Structure 1
Amino acid sequence: MAVPLRPLVAALCVGLVATLFTTAPTNARAEAPSDAEAWTVSAAPGAPRARIALDEDTGAVSLAVTRGGRTVIEPSPVGIVTESADLSTSLRSLGRTDRQIDERYRTKSGKRLERRVRMQETRLSFGTAAGDRFDLVVRASADGIAYRYVLPAGSGDVLRETSAFNLPPDADAWLGTYRADNEGQFTQYTASTAPTGEYSDQALFATAGGYTLLAESDLTGAYSGARLAHDQGSGTYRIKLADDRVDAEGQLATPWRAMVTGDLATVTRSTFTDDLAPGSKVTDSSWVRPGSVLWTWLAGGREAGQSLAAQKSYVDYAAERGWPYEAVDAGWYYKPGEWETTDPDWQTNSWMPELVDYARDKGVGIVVWIHHRDLDTPQERAQWLPTLERWGVKGVKIDFMDSETQSMLQWYDTILPATAEHHLMVDFHGSTIPKGIQRTWPHVMTLEGVAGEEKRTNTAAHLTTLPFTRNVIGSMDFTPGAFQRVGLRPNSDAAETGLPVVYESGLQMYAGTPESYDARPLAREFFDQLPAAWDDTRLLSGKPGKEAVLARRSGERWFLGGVYAGAAHTAEVPLSIGSGQWLVETIRDGADGLVRKRQVLRGGETLGVDVVANGGFAGIACPWRPGVTNCAR
């Protein structure tokens, strides 16, 4: 489907900003300003509180965040510079409106399917003596603070933001070095001792007011992606855009600068970045079905991708396991022995229709890998997407975008409605990170944007940090389950078994070989039972870089996953999954392989698990009644 880029972007942008500018004020929960030059915004007592201040001498605007009277973000600069004006200084207040947001929506995947959004929104208008102006829109909820700039038509292109986040210098910080593919390793520093450089905007800090994850939401081709620029010795993290200039046509609403804030359990469970994003643009999403996927890249590589016989054998295994999908990675449409050249007659020569038919007869759907460069023109999209739909392919894994520039984000704006039109679920690799995309486009099942199972440099500390950073903001295609990569992964088999619970993904791509699963029947049985969509998520215990134990509920069963970094020990996990008695099955590392233990515990009691060095565990908890001996379904 050929979709003109600029008209689409302009229409979306104008519609959004028109809505923003015409919102009528309502009765406000936000507090009245303490004086003419300061305003506070909060959703409820005890929730994070934003204080916006206008300096009377410089005319500069700052924003600070507290929680429970304690510092989260110190007063930080707010402002934006366009072709026509520097809107970071010499400003005066032009007015304020307030409204309450109360919404419900349902997702296809994620930490929980049913969502409730309650936010307080305050819009503050600022202008210069020359007549230039912008609105600062601030939203506050129980788990975060966010703001965006709204610029009227005629403001010109955006040259930069002066936005920054000032953290207490001694705040603990978990940062991922910025990479275009968002696959940097997370490392712990303090806010001031982190080396000079650029970091991913999914940065986690621990302050007196609790934990805060910096993030971005509602990023489209109307703007550029952001990263954090930092100078060692300072607690300041500045917003740096991917482009030197953002092309702005007409009115503009920038992405949200978000601060997910609370205790660690609140941050981990938060859906704040999704809640900020626009509602679904897919009218009928009944064809979108999360599920487990047998992924064949680490299992067989490009050679397997070029072999119909190999792919049929993988389909057979997925069908035997009851896994709903099998993913065919790179190689299936290349000429044998080549990597960079596609076959111009791929539609005629491909064996993919035969594989799709074979898999359909066995109750397995096919997901196919495709390079971004083969979908980057209207002609290519018109050739590929209808063909894949006609064959019966269920989803596409699109790879190697490796950019958050405005032009690439405009490509996302085009490929998202096009894949939805052709009923193709999407897994983005070499990509941006979620940033609210899964609420707006629910057929986006997962995104990479992570140093995942393919990496040979991952550490156990990195694995225990991801649930509190990258995976907070949306589905993460880590591709767990690569049991065959002994020595290439930093964790134990029991920890690997628990990863599909610790890491949420709408398409959970299992990276092992059939032989590696068969050699570990307890892990295989656990994977067979795992859903890919959850009714609820809870953090049972955790500390970034040290441990992460999550519980995710499907129906009345809770699935447990724990990963640890450090020496062998007995982990004590609060079973905070509800009252009553629970049959708890855990899979642990034993002397000769994985072992299972069953015990009955009451909700709130402590689950003790022996963990090997850099190990972990997996488990299932189901309500116990007389006669219940296992949690299998």
Structure 2
Amino acid sequence: MRLILFALLFLFYSSALKAQSTSALSPDKSLELKISVTDGKVFYNLFYQQEEFLSQSPLGLLSSVGDFTKDLKLIGKTSSKIQESYKLNRSKVSEVNYLANETKFTFVNKENDTIHIVFRISNNDVAFSYWIPKSKKNSNDCIVEKEITGFKLPSGTTTFITPQAPPLSGWEKTKPSYEEEYTREEKVGTKSQYGLGYTFPALFHLGNKGWLLISETGISGNYPGTRLSDADSEGIYSVSFPQEGENNFNGAVTASSTLPMQTSWKTITLGKTLKPIVESTVSTDVVKPLIKSSKVFDTGRASWSWIVWQDESCNYNDQKTFIDLAANLKCEFILIDALWDVKIGKEKMTELVNYAKSKNVGVILWYNSNGNWNTAPQTPKDKMNTAEARRKEMQWLQQIGVKGLKIDFFGGDKQVTMKLYHDILIDAAEFGLGINFHGATLPRGWERMYPNYMTSEAVLASENLVFQQGFSDRYPSTATIYPFTRNTVAAMDFGPVFLNKRLHRDPNKGTVRKTTDAFEMATAVVFFSPVQHWGLTPENLQEKPSYLFDYLKNVPTVWDETVYLDGYPGKYCVIARRKNTKWYIAAINGENVRKKITVNLPMLKGKGVSIIADGNEQESKFSIQKLQNTTFDFNLSPNGGTVIFTP
């Protein structure tokens, strides 16, 4: 009898493994998720307006408390509605009304270990996370060894993604640091430059179907930062954990936590156009604030000597000059970069901070993140890598009135490194310091999670305009990729707005700028960062017309609303942003050909506006108009731009 009962149970379990399926919809029913279990393996498909955007893609992970990659059975499904309104004060929008349908799918393996896969589906976003509960069998620690999460794109798809760099590569072994060139419509499945896959966010063009962006959010030291593998023979990109050599072999490549354990959220944003991608808030929708603080962390614009004047400018007199420049431009900050501890010293830095205060300018100071995870020699170093050293330094910074820190050279995504980001942010919040990370990972929901997180580099940024003529030549096109990729998921400290013809202190040396002045003005709006570090120098004030600086004195760095108007990665971009009642509409041309782009601007109908547009050669022209119609023609010069703004 027992044998018969066992046989019946085995047959039941076997049949359950072979064919199970279920689905879930977005609130407007335009986006459909399908979950299926075939031969004990879990898959998902995504459909938008009844067209398949993701083909059958695998789900699951391998952990120390259970193998959830095979022999799985769906045993439960619970659904609920998520309706939440929240505010952001350092973002591309200030108020979010988040509406989504949440479905938790419960699976067991043949050992009866349980895992939940939680999906949240809004009208253009899907976010999902794995959740491993406590049980009588498993009540302590859990190690996740790998995910098999995958993304199968339709054939014919093209990519705008950045390759993962090898560990301990790049200058002074500081990579990987999300500072690689984007692919430009490479065929899906093309092997990455280094054979190590690609970093988030990853943008895919599905031809006539539309666009899809994959990213990750919700990491605070609880999980490593992950990436996409190269596509396998079936065209599936899989989630990969960090490489062993990252951070100079410090830390494990796996994820560990006490149970219950939740992984990071993987996010997918999709639509017929790029509008849902540019306007998405999914990276903050699925996270929560981690700490509360009564302290005020200011945002704003900063002068920055290093970007054009380089290391030699890190001296007392030059920094005083750039404090005066910040005051003239009504900038809230000056960024004083590497080697200040040696070339200026702490005693004289106190004097500089006090001088800046007298000019109503806050000081941001650079630090090396090390540790021993790379060989970058710039100081100050060994001040941010341990709690004791960090808190002692931050206490001094608070005492002299420093407003924020730029911390550089992290070089990896292991959980131990993600924990370091978290610990720095937590300590800095206590001491009233805003934080900017460079040579760093992609921020993952941090503008909502931490009150003092400002911005991160995590992109091939403006220093490369100074270092490489080739990057400067490609920059107009590159700049039109960033708003649809890196900058749509989080703040991006590119360091825009240059007016020098040659990017060097000596006007006869250095790389040659290829963009127009109007293009540079437009990047102040196109690129979003709560703290914007301008590439301006003191001589610009005498060389260029005053209306450029009148505009820069008032342009916001945080926004109440962001609206996609038009664009194509690598070709052009038109974005509108609003602060209070004032609108800023910016267009940049990524190609070396003249362009006319017509957009609808209902928010400006009947209003008087100021316009900075392309003039002769690189120079700009200024006009004041009253817009009678809802449409506007942007006539963009090669590598040019336009910015329209209301008074």
What is the TM-score of this pair, normalised by structure 1?
0.86
Give 2:278's aligned residue.
268
Amino acid at match of 2:280: S
Distance change in 2, residues 1:233/1:143 (3 Å): same
Of 506, 520, 528, 2:530 maps to 506
Give 1:43's aligned residue.
26
The answer to whether the Cα contact below 8 Å between 1:143 and 1:272 also exists between their aligned partners in 2 is no
Give 1:170's aligned residue.
156
Could you tell me how far apart the structure 2 residues matched to 1:410 and 1:424 are? 18
Give 2:171's aligned residue.
none
The answer to whether the Cα contact below 8 Å between 2:605 and 2:630 also exists between their aligned partners in 1 is no
1:43: Cα distance to partner? 2.6
1:236: Cα distance to partner? 1.8
Are 1:143 and 2:140 matched, yes or no? no
Amino acid at match of 2:534: Y
1:65: Cα distance to partner? 0.9
Q: How many residues align?
A: 572
The answer to whether the Cα contact below 8 Å between 1:268 and 1:468 also exists between their aligned partners in 2 is yes
Of 622, 630, 638, 1:604 maps to 630
Are 1:482 and 2:489 matched, yes or no? no
Could you tell me how far apart the structure 2 residues matched to 1:335 and 1:514 are? 21
Give 2:358's aligned residue.
361
Could you tell me how far apart the structure 1 residues matched to 2:452 and 2:24 are? 34
1:505: Cα distance to partner? 0.4
What is the TM-score of this pair, normalised by structure 2?
0.85
Which runs of no fewer than 5 residues in structure 2 stay unpaired? 1-17, 166-175, 244-252, 371-382, 503-510
Q: Secondary structure at the match of 2:591?
A: coil
What are the Cα deviations for residues 339-360 of structure 1, in whole angstroms up to 9, with x where unaligned? xxxxxxx6xx431111111111
Could you tell me how far apart the structure 2 residues matched to 1:192 and 1:570 are? 29
Q: Which moved more, 1:192-201 or 1:326-335?
A: 192-201
1:491: Cα distance to partner? 2.5
Are 1:419 and 2:428 matched, yes or no? yes
Could you tell me how far apart the structure 1 residues matched to 2:242 and 2:499 are? 37
Give 2:339's aligned residue.
331
Distance change in 2, residues 1:159/1:414 (3 Å): same
Amino acid at match of 1:144: D
What are the Cα deviations for residues 396-419 of structure 1, in whole angstroms up to 9, with x where unaligned? 111111211111011112111100
Could you tell me how far apart the structure 1 residues matched to 2:116 and 2:89 are? 34
Are 1:595 and 2:597 matched, yes or no? no
1:555: Cα distance to partner? 2.1
1:567: Cα distance to partner? 3.4
The answer to whether the Cα contact below 8 Å between 1:585 and 1:599 also exists between their aligned partners in 2 is yes
Are 1:183 and 2:179 matched, yes or no? yes
Give 2:12's aligned residue.
none
Give 1:245's aligned residue.
254
Could you tell me how far apart the structure 2 residues matched to 1:82 and 1:199 are? 24
Which runs of no fewer than 5 residues in structure 1 stay unpaired? 1-34, 337-345, 623-630
Distance change in 2, residues 1:588/1:525 (3 Å): same
1:516-595 correspondence runs (5 A) = 516-521=540-545, 522-578=547-603, 580-591=605-616, 593-595=619-621
The answer to whether the Cα contact below 8 Å between 2:90 and 2:558 also exists between their aligned partners in 1 is yes
1:295-444 correspondence runs (5 A) = 295-305=304-314, 307-334=315-342, 349-373=346-370, 374-444=383-453
Q: Secondary structure at the match of 2:396?
A: helix
Are 1:102 and 2:83 matched, yes or no? yes
Give 1:114's aligned residue.
95
The answer to whether the Cα contact below 8 Å between 1:518 and 1:524 also exists between their aligned partners in 2 is no
Could you tell me how far apart the structure 2 residues matched to 1:246 and 1:533 are? 34
Give 2:454's aligned residue.
445
Could you tell me how far apart the structure 2 residues matched to 1:288 and 1:277 are? 20
Distance change in 2, residues 1:209/1:609 (3 Å): closer
Over 6 Å off, 4+ runs: none
Give 1:468's aligned residue.
484
The answer to whether the Cα contact below 8 Å between 2:604 and 2:627 also exists between their aligned partners in 1 is no
Q: Secondary structure at the match of 2:463?
A: coil
The answer to whether the Cα contact below 8 Å between 2:565 and 2:574 also exists between their aligned partners in 1 is yes
The answer to whether the Cα contact below 8 Å between 1:191 and 1:205 also exists between their aligned partners in 2 is no
Q: Secondary structure at the match of 1:614?
A: coil
Could you tell me how far apart the structure 1 residues matched to 2:230 and 2:498 are? 36
Distance change in 2, residues 1:137/1:232 (3 Å): closer
1:489: Cα distance to partner? 4.4
The answer to whether the Cα contact below 8 Å between 1:169 and 1:190 also exists between their aligned partners in 2 is no
Could you tell me how far apart the structure 2 residues matched to 1:161 and 1:91 are? 15
What are the Cα deviations for residues 147-195 of structure 1, in whole angstroms up to 9, with x where unaligned? 1111134373111111110001211221112242111111223453523
The answer to whether the Cα contact below 8 Å between 2:93 and 2:559 also exists between their aligned partners in 1 is yes
The answer to whether the Cα contact below 8 Å between 1:282 and 1:420 also exists between their aligned partners in 2 is no
1:203: Cα distance to partner? 0.7
Could you tell me how far apart the structure 1 residues matched to 2:143 and 2:560 are? 43
The answer to whether the Cα contact below 8 Å between 1:49 and 1:145 also exists between their aligned partners in 2 is no
The answer to whether the Cα contact below 8 Å between 2:158 and 2:188 also exists between their aligned partners in 1 is no
Distance change in 2, residues 1:130/1:137 (3 Å): same
RMSD: 2.0
Give 1:206's aligned residue.
205
Could you tell me how far apart the structure 2 residues matched to 1:217 and 1:388 are? 30
What are the Cα deviations for residues 303-353 of structure 1, in whole angstroms up to 9, with x where unaligned? 222x222211211121122111111111211258xxxxxxxxx6xx43111
Could you tell me how far apart the structure 1 residues matched to 2:544 and 2:584 are? 19
Give 1:87's aligned residue.
68
Q: Secondary structure at the match of 2:424?
A: helix
Give 1:278's aligned residue.
288
Q: Percent identity, please.
A: 27
What are the Cα deviations for residues 575-614 of structure 1, in whole angstroms up to 9, with x where unaligned? 3242631223222232262111333224521x22332222
